[in-house]
Amino acid sequence: MKNDSLLPGSTKFRPALAVPVLLTLAILALLTSACGDLPAATDTADSQALYTAAAQTLVADLTLQAGNTAIAQLTELALTPAAVPPTATNTPEPSPTPSPTTTSPPPTPTATSLPCDWAEFVSDLSVPDNSSFPPGADFTKIWRIRNIGSCTWSSDYELIFTGGDLMSAARARPLPGVVRPGETVDLGVDLRAPANPGTYRGDWMLRNPAGNAFGILDNAQGTFWVQIRTVQVVGANQYAYDFVANYCLADWSNGSERLSCPGIPSNREAFVVFLERPELESRVENEPALWTRPAPGRQGWIIAEYPPYLVRNGDHFRAEIGCLYDSPDCELRFQLDYRTANGVVRNLGSWREDYDSTTTLIDLDLSNLAGLSVNFILSVNNLGDDQDANAFWFVPHIRNLVEINKVVLSWQQIKDDECNQLEIYLSSRNSGTANAYYCQERSQYVGNTTLNSSELGQVVDLYNRLISFNADVYNASTEELNYLVFSGGGNNDAVSVDIELLASLAENLFNRIAR
């Protein structure tokens, strides 16, 4: 029975059924050979039975060997990785060697090449869009720009004005140095707010040494710009020095780092901002103020040092100080100092302010500094909550109370052998008088008049703004000649509009007296 289980067709060894035909032939040959060795049979039946037994024995042995061999082969196949069937061994006849071709392999993907000159706007470092300024205020706009092209910028590259409102700027200025691809550069331009109220915008780009302009955006032709608002200020040009109008000419700092002007209101940084209609802790005003926020933390500072100012006899520093509205935990210390030409800093006053619906008026006589060129320093120190440290300087300025009977203007008009003369006096009580004379051969007093409020305002404004000068005004159509000698106490040169205003004012005053 054991051998029966190993016969061909057994389920256990079904894979061994593929015995080659040669194996069958070999079995038959062995059977024939075995028959030759068998003993002679006594009869046909016995011989047949003996032959059958021998054949069965041989077949069983061969079948067992074949099965064992198949098992070994299957085991080996199971343990050996599958191999690729061999290909045909027919070797093709050699063919002629093809000639070399110039076909290149497919190109690998590459990044799109960058333009040589291309810029990216990063941020405004000063003067955010729609910042407000008084008419004529000087300020500096600074952009941070990144080089995203493939070429290095040098000082042969320029920042150029391309359109809009120039605002008294230079139309081109060289870059400060080398800017490699990927690097940033801070580009600044000095500007002046236009005289008339309104919104103004100037557009700017870069220019390479070949004279080609380029800028920002995807096509490298976009502009970056400065946009401001000029607002009319009550009482403008009536002071010897206006700290609001000139606030961006000052160096602002938190005591250790310089601040941009104007700043951007933030709870994390010190800043200064111009307020057109400030809301003070006690009222709302229509004159300008500076909102100055000290650096965060108790004892944080904000400090402004202004350009040199030549103090004259009769100068007074005037301002109102306090906390802005809705700053209940405001506690501040205001301070006014000055720096002399040799660098010595001296204090003029210090004032403590809380949010208590009251403010402090400052009026300091600067006459003891007359003749000195000094830098005034305005500072605020935080003593309370950071969030409410909202200080204001309301209309900070220097006003000159001129000496009594000071001659501001001497005017002569010569026409058709006539000589008319007028002198305008100002007093410390802010009143003015005009005296008239005939001056042909010998001076003859005609009379005088008191300046009305409009005339007085014009003279005081011109006195506070302009330096002393002489001027001639000639009218060819009437052959009329006017001589002017003006004794100003300001810092600015007279322009034709100022000269014509003085000549017209003097002529009107003279005619009023002489008629």
Strands (DSSP E) contained in 56-180 are 119-124, 131-133, 138-147, 158-164, 172-174
Q: Residue 51: pLDDT above 50? A: no
| CA separation for the pair 449, 451 (Å, rounded) | 6
Average pLDDT for 4-32: 40
| CA separation for the pair 277, 291 (Å, rounded) | 11
Percent of the chain at pLDDT above 70?
A: 75
Same domain, yes or no: 259 and 355? yes
Nearest to 233 by CA among 287, 291, 278: 287
pLDDT at site 167:
95
pLDDT at site 318:
95
pLDDT of 70-113, one tens digit each?
444 444 444 444 444 444 444 444 445 454 444 455 555 555 68
pLDDT at site 429:
55
pLDDT of 218-231, one tens digit each?
999 999 999 999 98
pLDDT at site 508:
94
Domain assignment present for 113: no
Same domain, yes or no: 175 and 209? yes
For residue 297, what pLDDT band results from cuts at 50, 70 and 90?
Answer: confident
Same domain, yes or no: 389 and 417? no
Same domain, yes or no: 256 and 388? yes
Q: Residue 434: pLDDT above 70? A: yes
Same domain, yes or no: 424 and 294? no
Average pLDDT for 143-153: 97
Residue 258: partners with Cβ closer than 8 Å, 6 or more residues away = 251, 252
* Cβ–Cβ < 8 Å for 203, 223: yes
Number of domains in the chain: 3
CATH of the domain at 320: 2.60.120.200
Domain assignment present for 144: yes
Nearest to 462 by CA among 500, 502, 434, 433: 502
Q: What's the mean pLDDT when you consider all of the chain?
A: 81
Which two three-digit tokens encode residue 247? Answer: 């606030």
β-sheet bridge partners, residue 332: 353, 382
213 vs 75, which has greater pLDDT?
A: 213
Same domain, yes or no: 388 and 281? yes
pLDDT at site 238:
67
pLDDT at site 456:
87
User: pTM here?
Assistant: 0.56
Same domain, yes or no: 306 and 393? yes
What stretch of H or E contains 49? helix 44-79
Same domain, yes or no: 199 and 258? no
| CA separation for the pair 188, 124 (Å, rounded) | 10
* Cβ–Cβ < 8 Å for 423, 435: yes
pLDDT at site 18:
40
Q: Which of 169, 196, 230 is the last residue of a domain?
A: 230
Which two three-digit tokens encode residue 63? Answer: 């079948």
Percent of the chain at pLDDT above 90?
A: 52
Q: Which amino acid is at 176?
A: P
For residue 60, what pLDDT band results from cuts at 50, 70 and 90?
Answer: very low
* Cβ–Cβ < 8 Å for 150, 139: no
CA-angle at 265, arms to 263 and 270, nearest 5°: 65
CATH of the domain at 196: 2.60.40.10
Q: Which of 362, 382, 400 is the last residue of a domain?
A: 400
Residue 85: partners with Cβ closer than 8 Å, 6 or more residues away = none
Same domain, yes or no: 337 and 417? no
Domain assignment present for 84: no
415 vs 507, which has greater pLDDT?
A: 507
Q: Which of 50-64, 470-484, 501-515 has the lowest mean pLDDT?
A: 50-64
β-sheet bridge partners, residue 475: 480
User: If you average pLDDT over each of 32-46, 386-400, 488-502, which comes out highest?
Assistant: 386-400
400 vs 375, which has greater pLDDT?
A: 375
Q: Which of 22-36, 145-159, 169-183, 395-409 has the lowest mean pLDDT?
A: 22-36
pLDDT at site 502:
94
Nearest to 154 by CA among 178, 172, 118, 138: 178
DSSP state letter for 64: H
Domain assignment present for 87: no
Domain assignment present for 267: yes
What stretch of H or E contains 75? helix 44-79
Domain assignment present for 24: no
Q: What distance, in Å, lies between the first and last C-alpha atoms of the chain? A: 161
27 vs 337, which has greater pLDDT?
A: 337
Same domain, yes or no: 367 and 449? no
What stretch of H or E contains 498? helix 496-514
pLDDT at site 112:
64
Which two three-digit tokens encode residue 359? Answer: 């403010």
pLDDT at site 274:
93
Domain assignment present for 261: yes
Which two three-digit tokens encode residue 38? Answer: 């068998």
Please give the residue range of the domain that contains residue 427.
406-514
Nearest to 393 by CA among 317, 328, 340, 326: 317
Q: Which of 23-27, 97-101, 262-266 has the lowest mean pLDDT?
A: 23-27
Same domain, yes or no: 269 and 389? yes
Q: Residue 349: pLDDT above 90? A: yes
Query: Residue 99: phi, psi to the nearest 5?
Result: -75, 150
Domain assignment present for 318: yes
Which residue is listed with tokens 């060129």? 373
Q: Which of 381, 400, 419 is the last residue of a domain?
A: 400
Same domain, yes or no: 189 and 268? no
DSSP state letter for 41: P
pLDDT at site 259:
93
pLDDT at site 319:
96
pLDDT at site 404:
60
HSE on the CB side for 285, CA within 13 Å? 22
Q: Residue 469: pLDDT above 70? A: yes
475 vs 455, which has greater pLDDT?
A: 455
pLDDT at site 91:
44
Q: Which amino acid is at 35?
A: C
User: If you average pLDDT over each of 38-52, 59-73, 250-264, which comes out highest?
Assistant: 250-264
pLDDT at site 104:
52
* Cβ–Cβ < 8 Å for 347, 336: yes
pLDDT of 406-423, one tens digit each?
889 999 998 877 889 999
Output the DSSP codes for 474-488: EETTTTEEEEEEE--
Output the DSSP codes for 348-386: EEEEEEESSS--EEEEEE-GGGTT-EEEEEEEEEE-S-G
180 exposure class (CB count in 10 Å sphere: 0-12, 13-18, 19+): exposed
